[in-house]
Homo-oligomer: A and B are copies of this chain.
């Protein structure tokens, strides 16, 4: 028999081995080996991305790679964890051009450098369906300092980082339903900005990232914490581009997904600490409402004080 490797392994060697970091054994083994940082807890999360569901078939492959990594980095950021490394599975149709792998890997390389994380291991397979990606990321946090969905208390403020709705509007742009002369919204949809490094561990009583829509994700914190929530629509921070889209898109902003901003419960006594941490990282934070005791219901109030009737609670990938 030939000593040459089959195409699967040649592809791994060419495009994925350069991404591999300590513990990966250059992807030449069946597993990765990791000595956990002593005295730290681990935080682990996994996300799948499927062509036609989470990204569009003609999205540039480097942006797909970066988004795959960033949505997972965003989950770690929302837990107050520092990224350590990731494993990835990549299932592609047999006719996927090599340029797709080159672009995908170059996007990952770029963001690995930006966020200080490396590839530990994974698997590549073929599929008769669309490209299917899965990434499991491992981070670490000081014991007891991880931020959970549960833990919000009556009287805590509801805070978000950055601006809300750009990702959902970017999807509308990508699918031809909205104009975007500057390209800002499309970029926000394609390339989340995970809020890695914002020190929320000593500040937030609960938190998560906004991936399925502000209202739906706030509902998750309400259920986990056993509280109700009221947000003031007028206080939800919108980008100039989202404001320019007009009032008709407000519900999309509030319930659309793909924001990857942090949604935090912060006790009044820790608001100063949040503002200090946010300023140190140059990350805008805005108080948009508050938690109160009661059933786990999210109310959105319009500027006139009336509850907004939302037809859609948020985005489900299922």
Expressed in whole angstroms, the Cα–Cα distance for A32 and B149 within the complex equals: 12
Does A45 have its Cβ within 8 Å of any Cβ on chain B?
yes
Contact check, A53 vs B1: say whether CB atoms are below 8 A apart.
no
Count this chain's copies in the assembly.
2
Docked complex: A126-185 residues within 8 A CB-CB of B: 126-130, 132, 134, 136, 138, 143, 146, 148-150
Does A36 have its Cβ within 8 Å of any Cβ on chain B?
yes
Subset of 18 A-B contacts with CB under 8 Å: A25-B149, A29-B79, A29-B208, A31-B43, A31-B76, A32-B43, A32-B45, A33-B41, A44-B87, A46-B88, A48-B89, A48-B91, A48-B123, A50-B126, A50-B127, A53-B91, A53-B127, A127-B129
**B residues near A45, Cβ cutoff 8 Å:** 30-32, 87, 121
Does A316 have its Cβ within 8 Å of any Cβ on chain B?
yes
Contact check, B46 vs A126: say whether CB atoms are below 8 A apart.
no
Docked complex: A48-91 residues within 8 A CB-CB of B: 48-50, 52-54, 75-76, 78-79, 81, 87-91
Does A200 have its Cβ within 8 Å of any Cβ on chain B?
no
Contact mask A103-127 → B, CB, 8 Å, 1/0? 0000000000000000011111111
Contact check, B1 vs A310: say whether CB atoms are below 8 A apart.
yes
Contact check, B35 vs A215: say whether CB atoms are below 8 A apart.
no
Does A6 have its Cβ within 8 Å of any Cβ on chain B?
yes
Comparing A239-247, A273-281, A293-301, the segment that makes contact with chain B is A293-301
Expressed in whole angstroms, the Cα–Cα distance for A208 and B317 within the complex equals: 37
**B residues near A209, Cβ cutoff 8 Å:** 30
In angstroms, how far is the closest chain B Cβ from the Cβ of A254? 10
Does A238 have its Cβ within 8 Å of any Cβ on chain B?
no
Contact check, B132 vs A30: say whether CB atoms are below 8 A apart.
no
Most chain B C-beta atoms within 10 Å of own C-beta, residue among A2, A87, A130: A87
Which of B6, B52, B223 is in CB contact (< 8 Å) with A316?
B6
Which of B32, B48, B125 is in CB contact (< 8 Å) with A53?
B125
Known contacts A3-B295, A146-B33: does B46 contact A122 (CB below 8 Å)? yes
Contact check, A35 vs B143: say whether CB atoms are below 8 A apart.
yes
In angstroms, how far is the closest chain B Cβ from the Cβ of A52? 5
Expressed in whole angstroms, the Cα–Cα distance for A318 and B146 within the complex equals: 39
Of chain B, the residue at the smallest CB distance from A43 is B31
Does A42 have its Cβ within 8 Å of any Cβ on chain B?
yes
19 other contacts beyond A31-B43, A31-B45, A44-B87, with CB at 8 A cut-off?
Answer: A3-B219, A11-B318, A29-B79, A30-B149, A31-B79, A33-B42, A33-B44, A33-B146, A36-B42, A46-B88, A46-B89, A47-B123, A48-B125, A50-B126, A50-B132, A52-B127, A54-B125, A125-B317, A126-B318
